[in-house]
Amino acid sequence: MASESSRKQILQLVAAYCGAAGNASPAADTVPALVSACQQVARSSSKADQLLGSQPSQQAQVLEWLSLASAELAGSVSDEKLSKINAALATRTFLAGGAAPSLADLLLFGLLHPAVSTLPAAQTNQSCNLLRWFDLIQHTSGAAAAGFAAVAVPLPAFVPLPPPPPVSSKPAASAATSATSAAPAQGGGKKEKAAAGGKAAAAADSSSSSKTTAAPAPAAAGAAAAAAAGAAPPEGAAAAAGGKQEKKEKKKEKKADAAPKPNKEAEEPRIDMLDIRVGKIVSVQQHPNADALYLEEIDVGEEKPRQEIDVGEEKPRQVISGLVKFVPKEQMEGRRVVVCCNLKPAKMRDIMSYGMVLCASNDTHDKVDPITPPEGVPVGERITFEGYTADPLEEVNPKRKILERLFPDLTTAADGTPTYKGVPFMTSKGPVASTLPNAHVA
């Protein structure tokens, strides 16, 4: 729910954007009242057409988004609501279209700021449109001046295209070869013409002399020999044809060798692709750059954790979790948790995180609690699932969206037991537990 200070910040943002920062602002005790106050400020500004829409269609879209803000964003912002906004931004820069932000963009930016600033790293790939829009608004609307803390939005790195390959000299050589092989063929054509002429002459002589005497046998033999010589294919053309056939066969062999090999990551995602282990939080502190994040050190029973350490030194794995709003610090210290250990390391507000604490959460995402392994399970033991016995991936590639495709099947049963497609999270001492029944696990 938007706090009183958040509502004031949003109203200050709208007023400053309208150039009315020095004027008295209307009261905004609730989100619907905030929407009305922002509309009042926008109407009285020189940017009214931009903020409220210059065309009827755009005006209708702005009003639709403002209505959504009053009805659906007055309380907690669920993942479903974020997904809806993300889908709407897939084909547009701003919520109501146009070339500049509308009042809907400014208002929703302020209402979504707490949710986006605590968005788990695992959800960034499925919220790319929302994050792109959020980053644009926070850098172009004067949000920092209105008191909004800057949010480090993970953006894809620019990878330049490789230079084009050098022009091959093979086509020129092939042309030269063709020209060379064509010459004998042309010579062969002359021979064919000569042979044809010889045949015609022989036929004429034969016709004229048949009245008196038969044509000499050597002349007929010579004509036959000439015809045979003209019908034979040129040697160069035969060599060229043989070369082409050989090249075709080599290409087929290369294609057969280059056939795609089975890739485990390209398969349908399975829960055994994840390296999920029992861990124990040995220290927890507030993230220095984010109020909603904990910076934890978790023992997952490994000799060499993923982060860089001095030779011979053993250190727990560093993990960042967005649990400040849901679990008090004293309940996190010394807690036994379940950790996904083979995710690609990610930077969260300038600090690296090397795993993810798995938690159960309700539909509205206002109740979140880490799932708990049974007492007596050794730290570092891998969580198992009946029927899924393959080795985990070395590292989960975020581009494959394996986590995102697994999340819908990770739920808790009516008794709170975390499951994957109904199969419990199991340890050597029994199933993992949670405090939230019929919830999501992520």
DSSP character for 394?
A: S
Of 299, 302, 303, the residue nearest 280 (C-alpha): 299
> CA 7, CA 107: separation in Å to the nearest integer?
9
pLDDT of residue 7: 84
pLDDT of residue 388: 95
> CA 17, CA 140: separation in Å to the nearest integer?
10
In this structure, the answer to whether residues 142 and 280 fall within a common structural domain is no
Answer yes or no: is 165 within a domain: no
pLDDT of residue 248: 64
Answer yes or no: is 330 within a domain: yes
Provide the residue range defining the domain that includes 16. 4-146
Answer yes or no: is 371 within a domain: yes
**Contacts with 300 (C-beta within 8 Å, 6 or more apart), sequence order:** 277, 278, 279, 316, 317, 339, 341, 355, 379, 380
Query: Token pair for residue 16?
Result: 């400053």
> CA 337, CA 277: separation in Å to the nearest integer?
9
297: part of which helix (H) or strand (E)? strand 294-299
Distance (Å) of CA 386 to CA 203, 260, 380, 407, 422: 93, 31, 19, 18, 10
Q: Which of 130, 146, 162 is the last residue of a domain?
A: 146
> CA 442, CA 361: separation in Å to the nearest integer?
8
Neighbouring CB atoms inside 10 A of 239's CB total 14
* Burial grade of 442 (CB within 10 A; 0-12, 13-18, 19 or more): buried
Answer yes or no: is 294 within a domain: yes
Number of domains in the chain: 2
Answer yes or no: is 290 within a domain: yes
pLDDT of residue 27: 62
Per-residue pLDDT reduced to its tens digit, 138-194? 999 888 888 888 888 876 555 677 777 877 655 555 544 554 444 444 444 444 444
3-state secondary structure at position 337: strand
Upper half-sphere CA count for residue 137 (Cβ side, 13 Å): 31
Calculated CA dihedral for residues 257, 258, 263, 268, nearest 10 degrees: -110
Q: 75-93 b/e with 16+ CB inside 10 Å = b?
A: eebbbebbeebbebbeeee
Q: 132-169 b/e with 16+ CB inside 10 Å = b?
A: ebbbbbbeebbbeebebeebebeeeeeeeeeeeeeeee
Answer yes or no: is 360 within a domain: yes
pLDDT of residue 124: 78
- The pairing of beta strand 440-441 with beta strand 418-420: unpaired
Residue type for position 333: E
What is the CATH classification number for the domain harbouring 63? 1.20.1050.10
**Pure H helices in 160-258:** 170-209, 217-231, 235-257
With beta carbons less than 8 A apart as the criterion, state whether 352 and 401 touch. no
In this structure, the answer to whether residues 134 and 282 fall within a common structural domain is no
Q: Which of 101, 124, 146 is the last residue of a domain?
A: 146
Q: Which residue has the tokens 């001095």?
A: 310
Q: Which of 127, 146, 165 is the last residue of a domain?
A: 146
**Contacts with 184 (C-beta within 8 Å, 6 or more apart), sequence order:** 234, 235, 236, 237
pLDDT of residue 211: 42
pTM over 0.75: no
Q: Which residue has the tokens 């008794």?
A: 415
With beta carbons less than 8 A apart as the criterion, state whether 426 and 309 touch. no
Answer yes or no: is 242 within a domain: no
Calculated CA dihedral for residues 235, 239, 244, 248, nearest 10 degrees: 130
Residue type for position 300: V
Residue type for position 73: L
pLDDT of residue 1: 55
What is the CATH classification number for the domain harbouring 301? 2.40.50.140
Answer yes or no: is 158 within a domain: no
Write out the chain's pLDDT in tens, 442 residues.
567 788 888 988 998 898 875 454 566 678 888 888 888 888 888 888 899 988 877 888 899 898 888 888 877 788 888 889 999 998 899 999 888 999 999 999 999 998 888 888 777 778 888 999 999 999 998 888 888 888 888 765 556 777 778 776 555 555 445 544 444 444 444 444 444 444 444 444 444 444 444 444 444 444 444 444 444 445 555 555 556 666 666 666 655 555 555 555 457 899 999 999 999 999 999 999 888 899 999 999 987 555 554 433 457 999 999 999 999 999 999 999 999 999 999 998 889 999 999 999 998 888 999 999 999 999 999 999 999 999 999 999 988 889 889 999 999 999 999 999 999 999 999 999 999 999 999 9
> CA 194, CA 185: separation in Å to the nearest integer?
14
In this structure, the answer to whether residues 430 and 288 fall within a common structural domain is yes
Distance, CA of 262 to chain centre: 21
